[in-house]
Chains A and B, each alone.
Chain A
């Protein structure tokens, strides 16, 4: 079964750092890009960025450029989204999703990681 398994919920304080993960299974990990999508409480979907596990080529939404880092370890089929300095406004659910090469949609989604940033 094709799956994206995301790491568990996190509760952090403002100023702390964080890295969440997304592990792919049931398919060839390097044949699909992995994207990240934010959903703030009660709000819609926002595209954060995307990475190609084959060569680590990464693209960011201008809204998130410089705010987060997307990385990948293809040896363990895992993509990451990290923050060096969290803010309360980073509180949201973060979904990872798979994008097939040569296509421009997300066909498989993880269940989401809830990140809560509060003092």
Chain B
């Protein structure tokens, strides 16, 4: 069974800072099958990054993704007030989708 472990659980930063969220998979992941989502309180998740490093339509270029194998990361350069939210990684493999437990980015 695939497990995605995100770190840290909570990230406390200020507007203008750089944020990095990590996601480690228990087994190697095809990077084409890896994505990141943002969820704000009371809202549905929003696709940010797919294929490990491609930004979804309308996502600002301060968001970037990287990684391969078992280690992936999401970086937000120059935090804006609207970026404070919960971030989830997600992978697909063996006909199953798996989410990480989430990282809360707080002011």
Residues of A within 8 A of B (CB): 35, 37, 44-47, 50, 59, 61-62, 95, 97, 103-107, 109-112
Chain B 47-63 interface residues, beta-carbon cutoff 8 Å to A? 47, 50-51, 56
Given A105-B50, A107-B47, A109-B45, are A45 and B92 also a contact pair (CB < 8 Å)? no
Q: Is A105 within 8 A of B47, CB to CB?
A: yes
Given A35-B97, A46-B99, are A109 and B44 also a contact pair (CB < 8 Å)? yes
Of B43, B44, B96, which contacts A59 at CB under 8 A? B96
Q: Is B101 within 8 A of A44, CB to CB?
A: yes
Chain B 8-61 interface residues, beta-carbon cutoff 8 Å to A? 32-33, 35, 37, 39, 43-47, 50-51, 56
Q: Is B97 within 8 A of A107, CB to CB?
A: no
User: Hey, which chain A residues are within 8 Å of B90, CB to CB?
Assistant: 45, 105-106
Q: Is A47 within 8 A of B102, CB to CB?
A: no
Of B45, B50, B51, which contacts A95 at CB under 8 A? B45
Q: Is A45 within 8 A of B33, CB to CB?
A: no
Interface size on B, residues (CB 8 A): 26
Residues of B within 8 A of A (CB): 1, 32-33, 35, 37, 39, 43-47, 50-51, 56, 86, 88, 90, 92, 95-102
Given A59-B95, A106-B47, are A44 and B32 also a contact pair (CB < 8 Å)? no
Q: Is B96 within 8 A of A104, CB to CB?
A: no
Q: Is A105 within 8 A of B35, CB to CB?
A: yes
User: Hey, which chain B residues are within 8 Å of A37, CB to CB?
Assistant: 45, 99
Q: Is B99 within 8 A of A47, CB to CB?
A: yes
User: Hey, which chain B residues are within 8 Å of A59, CB to CB?
Assistant: 95-96
Question: What is the CB-to-nearest-CB distance from B60 to chain A, in angstroms, rounded to a whole number?
Answer: 17
User: Hey, which chain A residues are within 8 Å of B44, CB to CB?
Assistant: 95, 97, 109-112
Of B1, B46, B102, which contacts A44 at CB under 8 A? B102
